Structure 1
Amino acid sequence: MNIAIQGIQGSFHHIVASKYFGDKINLTECMSFSEIPQLIMSGQVDAAVMAIENTSAGAILSNYALIDNHNLNIKGEFYLPMIHNLMVLKGQTIDDIHEVWSHPIAIQHCKRFFQEHPNLKIIEERDTASVAKYIKDNNVKGIAAIASKKAAEIFDLEILEREIQNDRYNMTRFFILTKKREHQPDDYLNTKASLKFITHHELGNLAEILNVCVKHKLNLSKIQSIPIHEEPWNYAFFIDLIFDDYHKYCQALLELEPRVESLKILGEYFESKPKFQQLTA
């Protein structure tokens, strides 16, 4: 199975791909999320892993837009703790390090560490694991990477400081993406759905939509507004619904459709629950 990820082996996307699909996968490594839709639509990959929101940094709005604009299907979700480690070429100490390179979000997750080490210069890079690979391949001394434990193992680096993230419960939610698909006989087993809708510009329209969800016992676990392109100050809403009864969910869709300007199912899948105990990453 060919799986597209943002980043390279050792990245958090790689960890999610392995945990979701197993280790017997072929990775297609992308340096930006915008490369992923075309790989899916052209059939070059079977699926992709894409980060969508983080407990500290919030939602990645541009990724919602990619999923929507390219009509991708959300096949599943996965929650992964963001456990950041400071790693270097073996044989060095923290006193030998003068620069730390990593992805901007990883750096943001580790602000407290840098406040405690103000002498370290911060350099932003496109991927956490790519820095680890660069250090190993070029025998670089004096520079550290912030990346996963898996990256340290793959590229044979030494971890100087473990779990340097600010929040021990820092976690990222990832979507598993495929081509848009037809309904399947086992869809009734799904317990979660991601939808996009645009409301009418009428008083109480959003409240009316929420009331339909309550009526059919749908748990609105997330609502995210995103600006509509070329329609200033107009917004689309992206929501996640959790349910026990797929039939009631379908009934709710039938009631919602005439109450909104547009309604789109981005994906129906089995709910994954966050596990807040520390996991090896």
Structure 2
Amino acid sequence: MLSKNDLLNFRHKINNIDKKIVILLEKRKKLVLDIAKSKIQNNQPIRDINREKNLLSNLANLGRKKNLNTNYIKRLFTLIIEESVLTQKTLLEEFKNQKNENKTVISFLGSEGSYSHLAASKYGKHNIKKIIRRKCSNFEEVIQSVKNNESHYAILPIENSCSGPINEIFNILKNINLFIVGEIYVDINHCLLAIEKIELNTIKKIYSHSQPFKQCSNFINQFPNWKIEYTNSTTDAMKKIIQGNEKTNAVLGSEIGSKIYKLKILCKNISNIKNNITRFICLSKKPFKINSDQQLKTTIIFILKKETEEISKIIFSLEQKKIIVKILTFYDINKKEKIFYLDIEKKISCNTIQEIFNKIQRISKFIKILGCYPSENKTPF
């Protein structure tokens, strides 16, 4: 019969073995970190499923020879492997953060080759040394990426010289707590693209975002038999016809996009007007830091308490002072009310502009300064 001292002695031996297991796990973790560094340097995937299966199988066989339950061995080492994978993923994430800490992330609609991508690249080239472009599938995702601190800036198209203001964007601007910090103008060259060179009368279906369809309506109306399919972006449309691989499908997209996705150009410059330009805005959580030497633009959005001629008088007074003003109106999709959008080519800190703001505020039930930011000094609209 075993005594109490024998039991204590056995437990002491088990404790020593457990300590050795922990020390071995520590040594194993150090090797795992070395492996992770090697994978990162050589751009290899963290996980190797085939190796994991072979490892578990070999260890289960060894356990069987040592009279250990194979399921127990598999469960134990599955846990150890999962911890190793987590350790490697954590190191990889830290490496990515260090690599990107001095870079600025800009979110935009679509993929490489979309007009929003061109705008993001153009803005980054002029204002930011190192940028990372973040692709998004819709406008809401572009905004959310900044709200969630996944991006520093969001690029959105706000108006086009051919199709006018983009109402969806104005409704977004009314309801978000982001500031306009810049604007970019992009020349739009809509092309008709397809997988192969085909006759226009053989096309059955045409894909694109809603904006290119508006801007190319005169061209599209010449072919009433074409079936129109809307997509989230022009690059989504390009990907769709490539995946479908139907020769009778076409897409409205950019010339740059045709090169990226290896599509054939059937027609170029098919917009309703010759000089088709889209104005994009750049949004951030923080307002632009004003430099007195820069030509600035102030953007205000507001809703009047009631219909009044007062707003026309305010605009007239600005124009009399030779201040460039542009006013647009659109309708709130949900509340069905008229919303005014005002661009003023002056800093909001100017006494004149502050006075105007106060006047608008008195006749408005809602007013918001969207931003005071560098003006591109372009008037294509």
* Shared fold (TM-score, shorter chain, > 0.5): yes
The yes-or-no answer on 1:36 pairing with 2:142 is yes
| Alignment map for 1:221-232 (pairs within 5 Å) | 221-227=326-332
189-198 or 110-119: which moved more?
110-119
Deviation of the 1:137 alpha carbon: 4.5
Aligned partner of 1:53: which letter?
A: E
Q: Does 1:21 align with 2:124?
A: yes
**CA radius of gyration, larger in:** 2
Question: Which residue type is aligned with residue 17 of structure 1?
Answer: A
Contact map agreement 1:213 1:252 (CA 8 A) in 2? no
Cα distance, 1:116 vs. partner?
3.2
Counterpart for residue 270 of structure 1:
374
> Which 10-residue stretch deviates more, 74-83 or 239-248?
239-248
Change (3 A) 1:273 1:140: farther
CA distance in 2, matches of 1:19, 1:189: 19
Q: Which protein has greater RCO, CA pairs closer than 8 Å, 6+ apart?
A: 1
Structure 1 unaligned spans of 5+: 277-281
Does residue 186 of structure 1 match 2:303? no
**Shift of residue 192, structure 1, vs aligned partner:** 1.0
Is 1:98 paired with 2:215?
Answer: no
Residue number in structure 1 paired with 2:275: 169
CA shift in 2, pair 1:267/1:164, >3 Å:
same
In the alignment, structure 1 residue 206 sits paired with structure 2 residue 311:
yes
User: SS of 2:150's equivalent?
Assistant: coil
Q: What is the TM-score when the length of structure 2 is the normalising length? A: 0.62
Q: Determine the structure 2 residue equivalent to 1:78.
A: 184
> Which letter does structure 2 place at the counterpart of 1:218?
I
Instruction: Name the counterpart of 2:302.
Output: 197
Q: Secondary structure at the match of 1:126?
A: coil
Helix, strand or coil: the match of 1:112?
A: helix
Q: Aligned letter for 1:121?
A: K
The 1:188/1:229 distance shift into structure 2, 3 A limit, reads farther
The letter for the 2-side match of 1:168 is K
1:147/1:247 CA distance change after superposition, 3 Å: same
* Matched position secondary structure for 2:273: coil
Q: Tell me, what secondary structure is at the counterpart of 2:256?
A: helix
Give the CA deviation at 1:74.
0.7
Question: 2:226 is matched with which residue?
Answer: 120
Aligned residue-pair number: 273
Q: 1:121 to 1:266 in 2, by over 3 A?
A: same
Q: Distance in 1 between matches of 2:213 and 2:338?
A: 31
Listed as ranges, the gaps of 5+ residues in structure 2 are: 1-103
- With 192-201 and 76-85 compared, the bigger mean Cα shift is at 192-201
CA contact (8 A) 2:167 2:330 kept: no
Show the counterpart of 1:3: 106
CA distances 1:41-78 after superposition (whole Å, capped 9, x unpaired): 22111111111122232222231221221121111112
Q: Distance in 2 between matches of 1:205 and 1:145?
A: 46
Hey, what's the Cα distance between the residues in 2 that align with 1:224 and 1:263?
14
Q: Which whole-Å CA distance do the structure 2 matches of 1:254 and 1:85 have between them?
A: 43
- The structure 1 segments of at least 4 consecutive aligned residues displaced by more than 6 Å after TM superposition are none
Identity %: 27
Q: Structure 1 or 2: larger helix share?
A: 2
As a proportion of its length, which structure holds more strand? 1
Query: TM-score when scaled to structure 1?
Result: 0.82
**Residues 213-224 of structure 1: pairs in structure 2 closer than 5 A:** 213-214=318-319, 217-224=322-329
Letter of the aligned partner of 1:191 in structure 2? L
